[in-house]
Amino acid sequence: MQTIAVIDFETSGLAPGGGGRATEIAAVLVRDGRIEGSFSSLMKTGVWVPPFIEQLTGISNEMLEQAPAAEEVMRQMAVFTQGCAMVAHNAPFDRGFWHAEMALAGCDPDPAHEFACTVLLARRLYPEAPSCKLGMLAQFHHLPDSGRAHRALADAMTTAHLLLRIQQDVAAQFADELEDWPVDHALLAHLQRANKSALKRSVQDFVRKMKLSEGATSANRGFARASAEAGV
DNA sequence: TGCCAGGCCCTCTTTAGGGCCTT
């Protein structure tokens, strides 16, 4: 199964377009239902962090003065997550900063970096949850304590545990529809856009389509092999 | 306390508006 990188940014504001810059990033690698590694770092961009955000995250302007340059951190992160599909809690937020910081670091976009969102998935799978804020979902599911909330590694780790819980629940809830198909990133990306009142049918449609696609690919491989052997 | 941005979802919708979630 493909490795999924769960990422989380701490930033100086709510959008890169409004002058916001990243102050910290973390990535947690998830594969085969397990957490397999992590990377995190503060990032020095020269941006001023407002007092409200200093208080929220615990990341001060003084701490960032000693941090490695953002460009270097993003280059390391590009290597760490190479070939991984991406997951984040409220993915549009992290995706925006990901693309902005990668561009500023001069890194080319990785086509594997398609984002799935645990907020959208949680809204479909856990309508009984009081809210879909990360902290509330962690409490709702009794997820392991990952440390101080609003720090990148702790939030990325909590999101990784939430992702594992989502994968387990989808596998259990739709076992008949999935047959032997894994709860991979492609299925999650499909489910996050599905009509939540028809999730079972959506899973069935996805698996049918993927198996047809897989069959067509196998048939093409067979045709190509037969053609090669025949000297066509 | 309320606003700031962006993307997405939901509904009393689609020629829109309000709410959620992220820092």
**Nearest partner of A165 among A16, A77, A26, A33, judged by Cα:** A33
- Tens-place pLDDT, residues A16-57: 877 899 999 999 999 999 999 999 999 999 999 999 999 999
Protein footprint on strand B: which nucleotides are under 7 Å from a CB? 2, 4-10, 20-23
- Measuring alpha carbon to C1', the residue closest to nucleotide B5 is A15
* A80 CA to B23 C1' distance (Å): 24
The pLDDT, as a whole number, for residue A196 is 80
The pLDDT, as a whole number, for residue A1 is 75
Residue A174 has pLDDT above 50, yes or no: yes
- Tens-place pLDDT, residues A61-94: 999 999 999 999 999 999 999 999 999 999 999 9
In this prediction the pTM is: 0.90
Mean of the pLDDT values across residues A117-144? 94
* A182 CA to B15 C1' distance (Å): 43
The pLDDT, as a whole number, for residue A217 is 58
- Strand B contacts (Cβ < 7 A) comprise A 8-11, 13-15, 17-18, 23, 52-53, 56-57, 89-90, 92-93, 96, 119-120, 123-124, 131-135, 150, 155, 192-193, 196
First to last CA, chain A: 35
| A79-109 residues labelled b (16+ CB within 10 A) or e (exposed) | eebeebbbbbbbbebbbbbbebbbeebebee
The pLDDT, as a whole number, for residue A112 is 85
- At residue A10 the predicted structure's pLDDT band, cuts being 50, 70 and 90, is very high
CA distance A220 to A229: 14
Instruction: Give the angle subtended at the CA of A170 by the CAs of A177 and A218, to the nearest 5°.
Output: 50
- Tens-place pLDDT, residues A133-157: 999 999 999 999 988 999 999 999 9
Checking each nucleotide's C1' against the CA of A118, the nearest proves to be B21
Checking each nucleotide's C1' against the CA of A15, the nearest proves to be B5
Mean of the pLDDT values across residues A193-215? 86
The pLDDT, as a whole number, for residue A115 is 93
The pLDDT, as a whole number, for residue A17 is 78
